[in-house]
Structure 1
Amino acid sequence: MEVIKTRRVGAILEVRLDRPKANAIDLATSRIMGDTFAAFRDDPDLRVAIVTGTGEKFFCPGWDLKAAAEGDAVDGDYGVGGFGGLQELRDLNKPVIAAINGIACGGGLELALSSDMILAADHATFALPEIRSGTVADAASIKLPKRIPYHIAMELLLTGRWFDAEEAHRWGLVNEVVPAADLMTRAWELAELIASGPPLVYAAIKEVVRDAEDSKFQDAMNRITQRQLRTVDILYGSEDQLEGARAFAEKRDPVWKGK
């Protein structure tokens, strides 16, 4: 069974989890996802990815507990990108959009948190229920308090309670809430907008954001202005950097080449 289905149109890659009934992720699926996102990272013709799930009920509930009961070790080989292929994938300097088509809980919510933008269908629901099974939502414990107010993040981590798409939007966890029927249309609209932009700038933005996350402001600024970040150095010496200035001066739309 093809548990990960991909659709490629121009510079956009759609990655769809397809593991009935719930799109849960076992070790084998995680490795496939890692290979898929690594190939996306390394393909110069791809600029943006969308990750979503098949069906209307589940985006992803996270770790496949049935597979675990049959021998999948929780500390097993998740593949090149860690669990779900995204959260530990090094040097992923391209935007990723998560389109949440249903339940996103546990590792499924952590997968969404590994993306750059999150769209949610209006019926989507979220939770971090690991507390109830006596384990820790490790990636969420690191990321969530940096994304939403600390006390709300701690409440969600410590109680495991469910919350809906509107609450997720209220706390800034998701960018937009749309009718379920419009979710993928909106995701592709956003992806097309991003794909039309300057890929070298996107790469620099993602590296700067990662580098600056635990840095002092001036230290991060020094690394940027001294061109110590690879993507920034490439951008500042690129044809696209000149093209942006020329297009502005000539009052025309820029033509980005990614070089």
Structure 2
Amino acid sequence: MAAPIRYETTGSIATITLDRPDALNAITVAMIEALDAALAEAAEDAAIRVLIITGSGRAFCVGADIGQLDQWEKDPGLRDRFYTLAPRFFRGLEEFPKPVIAAVNGVAAAGGFEICCFADIVIAAEDARIGDAHANFVGFGPVSAVVAPTVLPRKIAAELLYTGDMMSPAQLHLWGFVNRVVPAGELMETSLAMAGRIAAKQPLAIQAAKNLARRAGLVDPGLLGSHAYESAKAIFATEDFREGLRAFAEKRAPDFKGR
């Protein structure tokens, strides 16, 4: 089985590439485990000063693999494993000590949107689309519900969370969520150039600046680690959640009943 991510280093820059292009880089338990390991390696390697996260193929990341979610009813152990790993990964990303650049090459939805929320800098291809999207099928995302209002104006975050709509990088640039919008062919060149400029600065000073900036807008770890996922468990037990999965698989609009 192919590895779900690639981890590569060039000088003082590490790049994580989500590498399930046929599945639009959807997140599985195996991918989260690999991401955890890659984050730890980049954090511990003193030679690495900046981390870039990007995707292979036509998507950055579309969030959790819907097929995996459908298996949760049959295998509660898999569901519990996901609930253990997902908050740990996002906590690790939020607490990652070095600057993180999200190089958004295509659709960034659900978990992909959440990765962008935690990135320090977002550079996006002009044809990418970014949004929470959980509302369209699975109800809501416990991470994005907590984090999006801290990195976007509250009303813009509410629009993304409640409608499931996707926005262009140009729109999100206006709201300060995207730093640079570039032609697709220039995405990695621009991201590497930005990473290089940061890596040339004093690494300990940059890490101190990031730590202070993170504390200024610190996400409540209690919400992220417990209440948010307890709320998600309740939603994932509803008929509407199962209807969302069926509608996604059948490529039709869901018929939600509020139960």
| TM-score over 0.5 (shorter chain) | yes
Q: Quick one: distance in 1 between partners of 2:69 and 2:155? A: 32
Cα deviations by residue, 1:208-238 (Å, 9 ceiling, x for unpaired):
12323359xxxxxxxxxxxxxxxxxxxxxxx
SS of residue paired to 2:119:
coil
CA–CA separation in structure 2 for the residues paired with 1:74 and 1:174: 32
Of residues 70-79 and 91-100 in structure 1, the stretch that sits farther from structure 2 once superposed is 70-79
Aligned to 1:76: 81
Shift of 1:114: 1.4
CA contact (8 A) 1:32 1:79 kept: no
Instruction: Give, in whole Å, the separation in 2 of the partners of 1:204 and 1:147.
Output: 20
Structure 1 residues 46, 81: CA separation in 2 closer, same or farther (over 3 Å shift)? farther
Residues 21 and 59 of structure 2 are in contact (CA less than 8 Å); yes or no, is this contact kept in structure 1? no
The structure with more helix, counted as a fraction of residues: 2
Q: For the structure 1 residues 214 and 26, does the alpha-carbon distance in structure 2 shift closer, same or farther, using more than 3 Å as the test?
A: closer
* Counterpart contact for 1:87–1:111, Cα < 8 Å: no
How do 1:26-175 and structure 2 match up within 5 A? 26-55=28-57, 57-71=58-72, 73-77=78-82, 82=87, 85-89=89-93, 91-175=95-179
**TM-aligned CA deviation for residue 144 of structure 1:** 1.4
Conserved in 1, the CA contact under 8 Å of 2:94 and 2:118? no
Letter in 2 for 1:127: G
**1:124–1:76 CA distance, 2 compared to 1 (3 A):** same
What is the CA deviation profile of residues 23-53 of structure 1, one whole-angstrom value per residue up to 9, with x for unaligned ones?
1010111011011011101111111010000
- Does residue 211 of structure 1 match 2:206? no
Kindly tell me the number of residue pairs found equivalent between the two proteins: 213
CA distance in 2 between partners of 1:181 and 1:150 (Å):
33
CA RMSD, aligned part only?
2.1
TM-score, reference length from structure 2 = 0.76
* Structure 1 pair 106–91 and aligned structure 2 pair: CA distance change class (3 A): closer
Q: Which is bigger in relative contact order (C-alpha 8 A, separation at least 6)?
A: 2
Unaligned runs of 5+ in 1: 216-259
Kindly provide the amino acid, as one letter, of the partner of residue 136 in structure 1. Answer: F
Q: In 2 relative to 1, CA 79–51 (structure 1 residues): closer, same or farther, beyond 3 Å?
A: farther
Larger radius of gyration: 1
Cα gap change, 1:167/1:127 in structure 2, threshold over 3 Å: closer, same or farther?
same
Q: Residue 100 of structure 1 contacts residue 118 of structure 1 at CA under 8 Å; is this kept in 2?
A: yes
Supply the distance in 2 between the matched residues of 1:20 and 1:79 (Cα, whole angstroms).
25
Q: Are the counterparts in 2 of residues 119 and 178 from structure 1 also a CA contact under 8 Å?
A: yes
Task: Assess if the C-alpha contact under 8 Å between 1:81 and 1:89 holds in 2.
Answer: no
The offset of 1:16, in angstroms, is 0.3
For residue 186 of structure 1, what is the amino acid of its counterpart? T
Q: Give the counterpart letter for 1:162 in structure 2.
A: M
Unaligned runs of 5+ in 2: 220-259
Structure 1 residues 80 and 136: CA distance shift in structure 2, 3 A: closer
Partner of 1:182: 186
| Identity of matched residues, % | 34
**Offset from partner CA, 1:173-230 (integer Å, 9 cap, x none):** 1000000000000000001111111111111112212323359xxxxxxxxxxxxxxx
In 1, the alpha carbon distance for the partners of 2:146 and 2:83 equals: 19
Whichever residue aligns with residue 31 of structure 2, its letter is T
Residue type of the alignment partner of 1:10: G
Please give the TM-score of this superposition, normalised by the length of structure 1: 0.76
User: Could you give the per-residue CA deviations for residues 148-175 of structure 1, whole angstroms, max 9, x where no partner exists?
Assistant: 2111111111111121111111111100
Superposed counterparts of 1:228-247, under 5 Å? none
| In structure 1, C-alpha distance between the alignment counterparts of 2:145 and 2:184, rounded to whole Å | 29
Counterpart code for 2:160: L
**Aligned AA for 1:64?**
D
